[in-house]
Structure 1
Amino acid sequence: MTENGPAAVDAVVLDIEGTTSATGFVVDVLYPYARERFGELLASRGDEPAVARAVAQVRAEIGEPDADAARVEKVLGEWVDADRKATPLKALQGILWAEGFARGELVSHFYPDVIPVLRRWHADGVRLYVYSSGSVSAQRAWFKYSAEGDLLGLVSGLYDTENAGPKQEADSYRAIAASTGIDPGRLLFLSDRPGELDAARAAGWRAVGVRRAGEPYADADFGDHPQAAAFSEITLAARSSS
């Protein structure tokens, strides 16, 4: 990590895609899995509160209050193609992914360096949180159904664009800091996206860019943000006694 000394923090907040886990797994496995099931979900479970709420959000966003299930499914597909981080898309994907993980049809991906470091930080008393554009339900399934078993016990809280806000806005990070009760200067955010690192820093957080070979942002300009190619390169100082 290109930083002057270890980071003195009380908690680490993790991005998932491109940071703890391969973007390719999300794009090549999870996206198609949900896309193939949108139609059935909308047709047979449209009255479920979470589904109905997401559908209403899609209709509001496209300005078509009477859009039928076929139209909503078409819009969802277009958003997937454009890799839009739309909250209702992520909510519906999250429902389907969580069920797929629970049935054993999906197993989440983590880079080899990630889980041992997360376990060490947790054992050292560092609190771990997740902030991803994927829904909280998807995040919960991701950590519960890993190749190394249930990792949810390592995580103190989960945040997405619905309960925290957009990932490139400083107010989202302020909201997370307030929710955790941790001083912003004692929070460390790990992400592969410079815009997210900038937003975290603007909220008073520490931030480290994770630059992984082969990821979409591997060649991004991280400016003066500290960088790491693996979690094993990130050193945390002893936590404060408060």
Structure 2
Amino acid sequence: MPTSPTNVTGVLLDIEGTTSSISFVHDVMFPFVLDRLDTFLAEHFTRGDVQAACETIAQDAGHASLAAWQAAQSTVSAQATVSAQELVAQEVRKLMANDVKATGLKALQGLIWQVGFQAGELTAHVYPDVLPAIETWRAGGLDVRIYSSGSIAAQKLFFGHLEDAGNCLHLFSGHYDTTFGGKKEADSYRRIAADWGKPLEEILFVTDIAEEATAAIAAGAQVAASVRPGNASLPPDLNVPLITSFAELSLLT
């Protein structure tokens, strides 16, 4: 029988498949990006934050810069010129089709979602057990933070625009994304703990992904696995508590 979490002072939460349904992310948020991608790039490509995201996408694709990527692509392409916007749009679609958790992609997605959230076209979904549990943990003195492949800016948009509860950012003391490392890498959790100023053994990480759970355990954190509708099956040898609701986590003594 997996050991229940003990002596927890900090809770680190995944989003997709843990606080929010996978179907919401894949059926609502991702299509919103793809529907708006070309228009967004045409209207905002020269903006500093958009340029920064596109430069990171170029670097994630193995190029020194967006300009170097465009020059290289134009050299090998049959087309006379390949625009930087076209390169970015093509790369975004490829990465999203393969569900790649790339930092530049996540930054650009967040900027596109910002338009939707601020215009009221998007509101975020969380499971009904999530906010009451977090409120209880916070009232009991626990520090609650988010670690997601989505950018920190996107995380704040998400929890700032919940469909029923509105802005719930006050419930979280911090946010982490892939700038701290990939979620399947043990060192990422060590970096987060160092930034948090908290021993890993006092941190409970809740995720729906077995490889993330394994990495967090290897780093020294406690782990619980989220079992929600639509989540991938977890391997039988994953020796952590399985929860179907945050109400099942008794963290306060």
- After TM superposition, the score normalised by the length of structure 1 is 0.92
For residues 129 and 199 of structure 1, the distance between their equivalents in structure 2, rounded to whole angstroms, comes to 18
For residues 61 and 155 of structure 1, the distance between their equivalents in structure 2, rounded to whole angstroms, comes to 29
Q: Does 1:65 align with 2:69?
A: yes
**1:223 CA drift (Å):** 1.3
**1:4 CA drift (Å):** 3.5
| Matching of residues 139-150 of structure 1 within 5 Å | 139-146=155-162, 147-150=164-167
For residues 95 and 237 of structure 2, the distance between their equivalents in structure 1, rounded to whole angstroms, comes to 27
Q: 1:178 aligns with which of 191, 194, 198?
A: 194
| Matching of residues 1-242 of structure 1 within 5 Å | 3-62=2-61, 63=63, 65-66=69-70, 68-146=84-162, 147-162=164-179, 164-215=180-231, 217-221=232-236, 223-238=238-253
For residues 199 and 188 of structure 1, the distance between their equivalents in structure 2, rounded to whole angstroms, comes to 13
How many residue pairs are counted as aligned between the two chains?
235
**1:222 CA drift (Å):** 5.6
For residues 61-84 of structure 1, what are the alpha-carbon distances to aligned partners after superposition, in whole Å with 9 as ceiling and x for unaligned? 334621621121011011111111
**Comparing 8-17 with 96-105, which one deviates more in the overlay?**
96-105
Instruction: Give the aligned CA root-mean-square deviation in angstroms.
Output: 1.6
**Comparing 41-50 with 83-92, which one deviates more in the overlay?**
41-50
**1:42 CA drift (Å):** 2.0
Structure 2 CA distance for partners of 1:221 and 1:187, relative to 1, 3 Å = same
For residues 92 and 237 of structure 2, the distance between their equivalents in structure 1, rounded to whole angstroms, comes to 31
Asked if structure 2 preserves the Cα contact closer than 8 Å seen for 1:10 and 1:187, the reply is yes
Identify the structure with the greater helix proportion. 2
**1:190 CA drift (Å):** 0.2
Letter of the aligned partner of 2:69 in structure 1? P
Asked if structure 1 preserves the Cα contact closer than 8 Å seen for 2:21 and 2:229, the reply is no
**Comparing 91-100 with 3-12, which one deviates more in the overlay?**
3-12
**1:6 CA drift (Å):** 4.6
For residues 174 and 99 of structure 1, the distance between their equivalents in structure 2, rounded to whole angstroms, comes to 34
Higher-Rg structure is: 2
Structure 2 residue runs of 5 or longer lacking an equivalent are 74-83
Counterpart of 2:80? none
Asked if structure 2 preserves the Cα contact closer than 8 Å seen for 1:19 and 1:191, the reply is yes
Letter of the aligned partner of 1:210 in structure 2? S
Letter of the aligned partner of 1:160 in structure 2? D
**Comparing 67-76 with 139-148, which one deviates more in the overlay?**
67-76
For residues 98-140 of structure 1, what are the alpha-carbon distances to aligned partners after superposition, in whole Å with 9 as ceiling and x for unaligned? 2211221111000111111111111111110000001111100
Structure 2 CA distance for partners of 1:236 and 1:46, relative to 1, 3 Å = same
Structure 1 residue runs of 5 or longer lacking an equivalent are none
